[in-house]
């Protein structure tokens, strides 16, 4: 290779970025190597999109030729055209010199009568490049590059080739902004910290901190910014993590650098702040900016974590079970002005970047697995949604299999789809009361396995073969799916399911705690996320592969199988206590655990394809309650189970809900524990009475009385002003920022008449200022009474000890 001047580079693909230069749109490819990040430039890849055509006289080939002669705005021309054959049929592929020209033609080509549809015309150029070359971000890559870093050829590395560990760090800033929100035009950065795996530093201008070992004292603010950028470069970081860097730290440091006449440049240019769909994002050219706040929002939606509040303190408490100290705005300003406690402030700054790094490290394997599976960059994956992940995966697959990628639907189509929702699961009303020996069984990955087993996919729907119409893939909706050729979606699901089992298997065999094992576990988790998201996207109105009929068929099959299994269970002599979507709760008459196993086995023999029933376990006792409004009906989606080892599982009850105060939840859990472990309510009643007494005597700390609820729209848009909205409005009047997405922690105080009037933000409520009557009548009693009611107790019994004597002595 040396003789031709071509270098052969191996590394990990970090990013691809499009840039318009002269008459060309080129692509910058960023690769992490042992020497650091290298940038290569691809100038041979041409932008393109497809059109489908229909014309009575002219053939596609002639139409393609004709289009070449057309002139569009600004004299724009199509640079090349050809007819290609996708699985959906022939299409005309139009090439362009650059992306702006593609955009002009894509908007104007509709004017020709023979143009029916445009395809793949909105795919970002950088994404296009990754798809067409089969590249995998955060995975090994080979680049053959000329001496000037232009790409000669590029290809993904063989999968068995080890990928180097990415180098990651995290940064955090502190500002001086007395009395108001910091604005980069006026308020300086006073401290900046950078954390790397075993080290963390703080840059600051204050001489007083010279003795603090982790502080680097510099002469002015510009040197703070430059020092930080230099350290990122010196450590060759591939990933820089922040906490809310998209909206705060990075736009701030960029603007501040401009004001000071310097730059925050870690090697390939200034930070780029982009307005994305809903909010801004900040890109550091070359380096992957991982905003942990965005990442946690995603992981929360994917149910990998369950976070309520997203400030760094709450996150630390929830993820690491650690308390983190916090400097409030005014404390930071005060410390800076007086110079008292500067070292503590520096430590706080250092701690923030260290915690951010830990959050990033905790989920890095999973996010990287998703990058590789969906072929999106870390930057993209960490800011995406479940829908985007599946969509990205399918776009890559579609290209690889020779399908044309369906376009995103028009707003009109979206609206009409929204008007027509899909019928979902079957939920059986439970028999309320205390039950013993409950066996729980469920269908493993029910929706995905139905889709695989019945070949459910948009492209197999109502196929032309007459045999398929009456075969095994005829859904209860009377639509059918091809029994001869595997569908696009179903085949991918099949592969994902197989890969997931393999990954889980290999993880078990790998060395415990090794990098390999963690990687395999993350892969399995990533695959599970994708698997579980497929059905949802099929029914998502904005999805490229939306198919109402396919989604309807999936749920119809699901209802069929669960009802069938219920019937089989009853035939086998079990009583089916409850069922929701894919699970069954069985009450044994005389049967033993082995009989349940035999039953599961017998059902599995009858189930098609990859569908599988699984025995989850037996519980010594369980309780179902009646609905609060219609007292005779059993409440669905609400139960508590206790196994022989006294482990308690609580589902759906107030205990698992954030919009009930901690005291009510704790009391409810206590009640459930008592009644399930003893089968009788005496101890539970005593606990409730004690709690009520404590409330009346003002002994309960305010933090145990806070109720959390989210503000989900602009405050002025509420038709009904509930307590959380009222509390938020009052807080805004006091100068606090409360917008869409913020979580209100409110307490019902003594002041006011309606509940909303009494509601105040927890932080404004002094100890003892709570409405005890409200908490008794609206929190404690409602949380426990319908459990105790299953033992024949009424509210009067509970409050006044009516049945005390008959239930035994308990004072």
Partner DNA sequence: TAATTCGCTAGACCGA
Partner DNA sequence: TCGGTCTAGCGAA
Q: Which positions lie near DNA, rule CB under 7 A?
A: 277-279, 297, 301, 303, 383, 385-388, 421-425, 427, 442, 532-533, 535-537, 539-543, 580-583, 625, 627-629, 633, 635-638, 651-652, 656-659, 708-713, 717-725, 743, 754-756, 778, 782, 786
Q: Give the strand order in the sheet containing 36-42.
A: 36-42, 24-33, 7-21, 140-145, 151-156
Contact 291, 271 (CB under 8 A): no
Instruction: Name which of 350 and 554 has its Cβ closer to DNA.
Output: 554
The residue among 500 and 709 lying less far from DNA, judged by its C-beta, is: 709
| Residue number, 221 or 582, with CB nearest to DNA | 582
Nearer to DNA by C-beta: 590 or 716? 716
Least distance from DNA to the Cβ atom of residue 497, Å: 16
Q: Which is nearer to DNA, 364 or 530 (CB)?
A: 530
Judge whether 202 and 228 are in contact, CB under 8 Å: no
Beta-strand relationship, 239-242 and 168-175: parallel
In sequence order, the β-bridge partners of residue 634 are 626
- Give the number of other Cβ atoms within 10 Å of residue 282's Cβ: 22
In the complex, the smallest distance separating the C-beta of residue 119 from DNA, rounded to whole angstroms, is: 20
| Measured distance CA(248)–CA(660) in Å, rounded | 32
SS3 712: coil
- CB of 432 within 8 A of CB of 626? yes
Q: Nearest-5° angle of CA 679, CA 680, CA 686? A: 135
How far is residue 698's CA from residue 768's CA, in Å, rounded to a whole number?
A: 6
E-state strands within 581-642: 583-587, 613-624, 639-642
**CB of 741 vs DNA, minimal distance in Å:** 8
Q: Least separation, in Å, of the C-beta of 457 and DNA?
A: 17
CB of 651 vs DNA, minimal distance in Å:
4
Nearer to DNA, 216 or 528 (CB): 528
Please identify, using beta-carbon distances, which residue of 387 and 617 lies nearer to DNA.
387
Whose Cβ is closer to DNA: residue 589's or residue 777's?
777
Query: Alpha-carbon Rg of the chain, whole angstroms?
Result: 31
Decide whether 4 or 418 has the Cβ nearer to DNA.
418
CB of 360 to DNA, least distance (A): 18
User: Any idea how long the chain is?
Assistant: 811
Let me know: does 145 contact 151? Beta carbons within 8 Å: yes
CB of 539 to DNA, least distance (A): 4
| CA dist., res. 451 & res. 551, Å (int) | 9
| Least distance to DNA, CB of residue 152, Å | 38
Sheet containing 707-710, strands listed edge to edge, beginning at the edge strand earlier in sequence: 707-710, 743-748, 759-761
β-strands 288-291, 239-242: how paired?
parallel
**Coil, strand or helix at 590:** coil
Q: How far is the CB of 247 from DNA (least distance, A)?
A: 11
The least distance separating DNA from the CB of residue 124, rounded to whole angstroms, comes to 14
For residue 719, the minimal CB distance to DNA (Å) is: 4
Closer to DNA by CB, 201 or 746: give it: 746
Contacts of 741 (CB under 8 A, 6+ apart): 710, 711, 712
Partner residues linked to 584 by β-bridges: 441, 579
Nearest to 173 by CA among 331, 352, 357, 358: 352
Closer residue to DNA (CB): 241 or 711:
711
Q: Tell me the C-alpha distance between 759 and 744, whole Å.
A: 11
């Amino acid at each position: 290779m040396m003789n031709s001047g071509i270098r052969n580079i191996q590394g990990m693909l970090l990013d691809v970025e499009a840039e318009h230069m002269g008459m060309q749109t080129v692509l910058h490819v960023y690769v992490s190597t042992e020497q650091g990040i290298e940038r290569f430039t691809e100038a041979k890849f041409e932008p393109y999109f497809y059109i489908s055509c229909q014309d009575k006289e002219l053939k596609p080939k002639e139409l393609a030729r004709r289009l070449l002669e057309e002139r569009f705005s600004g004299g724009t021309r199509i640079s090349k055209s050809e007819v290609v054959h996708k699985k959906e049929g022939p299409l005309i592929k139009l090439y362009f010199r650059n992306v702006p020209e593609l955009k002009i033609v894509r908007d104007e080509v509709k004017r020709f009568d023979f143009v029916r549809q445009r395809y793949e015309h909105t795919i970002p150029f950088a994404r296009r490049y990754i798809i067409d070359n089969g590249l995998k971000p955060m995975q090994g890559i080979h680049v053959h590059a000329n001496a000037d870093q232009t790409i000669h050829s590029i290809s993904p590395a063989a999968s068995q080739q080890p990928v180097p560990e990415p180098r990651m760090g995290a940064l955090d800033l502190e500002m001086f902004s007395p009395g108001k929100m910091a604005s980069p035009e006026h308020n300086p950065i006073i401290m900046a910290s950078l954390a790397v795996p075993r080290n963390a530093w703080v840059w600051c201008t204050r001489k007083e901190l010279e003795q603090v070992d982790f502080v680097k004292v510099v002469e002015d603010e510009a040197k703070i910014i430059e020092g930080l950028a230099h350290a990122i470069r010196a450590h060759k970081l591939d990933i820089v993590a922040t906490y809310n860097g998209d909206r705060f730290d990075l736009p701030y440091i960029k603007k501040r650098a401009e004001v000071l006449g310097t730059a925050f440049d870690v090697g390939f240019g200034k930070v780029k702040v982009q307005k994305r769909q809903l909010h801004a994002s900040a890109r550091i050219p070359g380096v992957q900016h991982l905003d942990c706040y965005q990442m946690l929002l995603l992981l929360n939606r994917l149910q990998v974590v369950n976070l309520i509040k997203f400030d760094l303190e709450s996150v630390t408490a929830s993820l690491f079970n650690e308390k983190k100290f916090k400097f409030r705005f005014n404390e930071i300003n005060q410390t800076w002005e007086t110079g008292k406690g500067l070292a503590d402030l520096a430590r706080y700054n250092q701690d923030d970047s260290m915690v951010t790094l830990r959050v990033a490290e905790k989920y890095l394997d999973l996010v990287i697995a998703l990058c590789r599976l969906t072929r999106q960059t870390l930057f993209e994956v960490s800011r995406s949604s479940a829908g985007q992940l599946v969509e990205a995966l399918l776009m890559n697959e579609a290209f690889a299999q020779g399908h044309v990628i369906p376009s995103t639907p028009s707003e009109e189509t979206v609206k009409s789809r929204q008007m027509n929702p899909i019928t979902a699961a079957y939920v059986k009303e439970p028999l309320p009361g205390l039950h013993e020996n409950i066996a729980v069984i469920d269908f493993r990955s029910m929706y995905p396995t139905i889709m695989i087993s019945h070949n459910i996919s948009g492209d197999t729907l109502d196929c032309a073969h007459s045999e398929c119409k009456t075969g095994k893939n005829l859904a209860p909706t009377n639509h059918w799916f091809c029994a001869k050729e595997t569908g696009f979606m179903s085949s991918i699901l099949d592969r994902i399911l197989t890969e997931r089992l393999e990954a889980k298997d290999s993880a078990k065999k790998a060395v415990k705690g090794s990098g390999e094992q963690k990687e395999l576990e993350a892969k399995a988790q990533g695959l599970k996320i994708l698997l579980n998201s497929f059905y949802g996207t099929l029914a998502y109105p904005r999805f490229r592969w939306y198919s109402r009929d396919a989604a309807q068929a999936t749920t119809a099959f699901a209802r069929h199988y669960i009802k069938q299994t219920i019937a089989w269970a009853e035939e086998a002599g079990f009583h089916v206590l409850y069922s929701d979507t894919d699970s069954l709760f069985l009450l044994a008459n005389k049967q033993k655990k082995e009989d349940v196993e035999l039953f599961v086995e017998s059902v599995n023999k009858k189930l098609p394809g990859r569908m599988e029933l699984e025995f989850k376990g037996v519980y010594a006792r369980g309780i179902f309650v009646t609905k609060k409004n219609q007292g005779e009906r059993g409440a669905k989606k609400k139960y508590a189970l206790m196994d022989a080892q006294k482990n308690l599982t609580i589902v759906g009850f107030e205990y698992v809900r954030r919009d009930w105060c901690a005291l009510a939840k704790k009391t409810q859990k206590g009640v459930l524990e008592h009644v399930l472990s003893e089968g009788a309510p005496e101890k539970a009643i005593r606990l409730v009475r004690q709690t009520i007494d404590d409330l009346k005597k003002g002994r309960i700390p305010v933090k145990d009385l806070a109720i959390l609820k989210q503000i989900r729209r602009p405050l002025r848009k509420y038709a009904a002003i509930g307590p959380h909205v009222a509390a938020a409005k009052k807080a805004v009047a006091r100068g606090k920022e409360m917008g869409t997405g913020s979580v209100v922690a409110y307490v019902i105080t003594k002041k006011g008449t309606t509940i909303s009037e009494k509601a105040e933000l927890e932080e404004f409520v002094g100890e003892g200022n709570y409405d005890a009557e409200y908490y008794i009548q609206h929190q404690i009693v409602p949380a426990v009474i319908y459990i105790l009611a299953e033992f024949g107790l009424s509210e009067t019994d509970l409050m006044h000890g009516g049945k005390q004597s008959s239930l035994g002595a308990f004072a």
